Amino acid sequence: MLSPFFVAAVCLALVMAYVNGLHDASNAVSTTIATRAMSERAALILAAILNLLGSLLGLGMSLTGARWALDLAGLESLTHGDVHGDPLVPPMLVGVALAVICWSVLTWALGIPSSTWQAMLGAAAGAALAMGLPVPWLAALALIVLPLVVAPVVSGVASYALARGIRRLGAEDRISIGTLQFLQTLSAGAVATAHGFSDSRISMALIVLAASYQGIDMADTPAAVSAMIAVSLALALGTLVGGHRIIRTLARRLTNLATVQGFAAEAVAAIVVLVGASGTGTSFSTSQSLTSSVVGSGLALGPRQIRWKLFGGILGIWVATPVACLGLGAMCTLLVHRLT
């Protein structure tokens, strides 16, 4: 018989996947909307479908059991791998999920793109502290600081260089606007696929850990397939609804994007996220990569094209995310622990 905790944890994980899709829909559609390469509705439908496919692909390639989930969720301090019946699992998982959901909704309401990955890692550290467990600070800081520095810098520099290069080719009539709009649609689809591939694992990790606590082995079972489909559908549904506040921030408020800049931003962001998800042992935020790419491609037109005050506020939220979620994770975990 399934425990109430398992049911609650699965529901929270699906809510988190839905909110993630809602929050990050802007990553794949904002530049195509800004440059009118696609209508907003068509862009959201395309992003939802490709988020779904990317999610299924990513989960199918990476799902390997409780150890995978512990490492991914930043909960290495919870146990050495045997979470079955561990009394610390319920309050920590529920606390982490609540903290991530609350922070994602808050930043969505503010219209600020932020990293769900860093929210998860910060919340996990806070949950561990709340339960009196040691936190591997060096490993945690590496997982937080490295993506926070590397992904934005690489994305910004690469998108600037790509946008400048394409503008020179365009000036010589080697690339038409129609071709660039088609390429931008493809690059937006690549970002949506990369986002699904990367971020679906956040919610799936919580389900895997809840199942391990329940005594259900999620490795290569029908239960795993059902969970993968449920997470992917929740992520796609959130994307289809669309986080319009953040879409406006990236599409209109941060800079004035032309087709060249939109394609450069999307193409670079997709590459950075996929490389991070598949080859570096860490995960680069789609939101941070795309936002930095937008700024880099906008700089190709000149520094006055960027609303620096707004970008400074976004950077402040990025730095605050792991710290704020550490506090949220600790508070939510303690609250759940006392109520159960």
Across the range 95-111, mean pLDDT stands at 94
Per-residue pLDDT at 41: 85
Q: From CA 163, how far away is CA 317, in angstroms rounded?
A: 27
Instruction: Kindly report whether the global pTM for this prediction surpasses the value 0.85.
Output: yes
Q: From CA 233, how far away is CA 226, in angstroms rounded?
A: 11
Q: How far is CA 209 from the centre of its chain?
A: 20
Please, are residues 325 and 119 in contact by the beta-carbon 8 Å criterion? yes
Q: From CA 235, how far away is CA 98, in angstroms rounded?
A: 17
Per-residue pLDDT at 254: 86
Q: Which of 36-40, 50-54, 241-245, 297-301 has the lowest mean pLDDT?
A: 241-245
Mean residue pLDDT of the chain comes to 85
Count of CB atoms situated within 10 Å of the CB of 164? 16
pLDDT one-digit tens code per residue, 104-144:
999 998 889 999 989 998 999 999 999 988 887 777 777 78
Count of CB atoms situated within 10 Å of the CB of 223? 15
**Residue that has been written with the tokens 């290569």 in this structure:** 220
- Name, in order, each residue with C-beta under 8 angstroms of 149's C-beta and a sequence gap of 6 or more: none
Most confident of 54-68, 156-170, 310-324: 310-324
Instruction: Give Cα separations from 287 to 118, 294, 315 (angstroms).
Output: 11, 11, 12
Q: What is the 3-state secondary structure (H, E, C) of 295-327?
A: HHHHHCCCHHHECHHHHHHHHHHHHHHHHHHHH
Per-residue pLDDT at 268: 93
Per-residue pLDDT at 273: 86
Residue 77 has pLDDT above 70, yes or no: no
Residue 42 has pLDDT above 70, yes or no: yes
Length of the chain: 340
Residue 81 has pLDDT above 60, yes or no: no
pLDDT one-digit tens code per residue, 228-254:
899 999 999 999 887 677 888 887 788
Please give the helix or strand (H or E) that residue 8 lies within, else none: helix 4-24
pLDDT band at 1 (very low <50, low <70, confident <90, very high): low
pLDDT band at 52 (very low <50, low <70, confident <90, very high): very high
pLDDT band at 219 (very low <50, low <70, confident <90, very high): low
Domain parsing of the chain, residue ranges: 4-339
Residue 89 has pLDDT above 90, yes or no: no
The C-alpha angle with vertex 118 and arms to 112 and 124, in degrees rounded to 5, equals 130
pLDDT band at 73 (very low <50, low <70, confident <90, very high): low
pLDDT band at 307 (very low <50, low <70, confident <90, very high): very high
Per-residue pLDDT at 285: 87
pLDDT one-digit tens code per residue, 252-290:
788 888 888 888 898 999 888 888 766 555 678 888 999
Per-residue pLDDT at 143: 77
Residue 134, both tokens: 């040691």
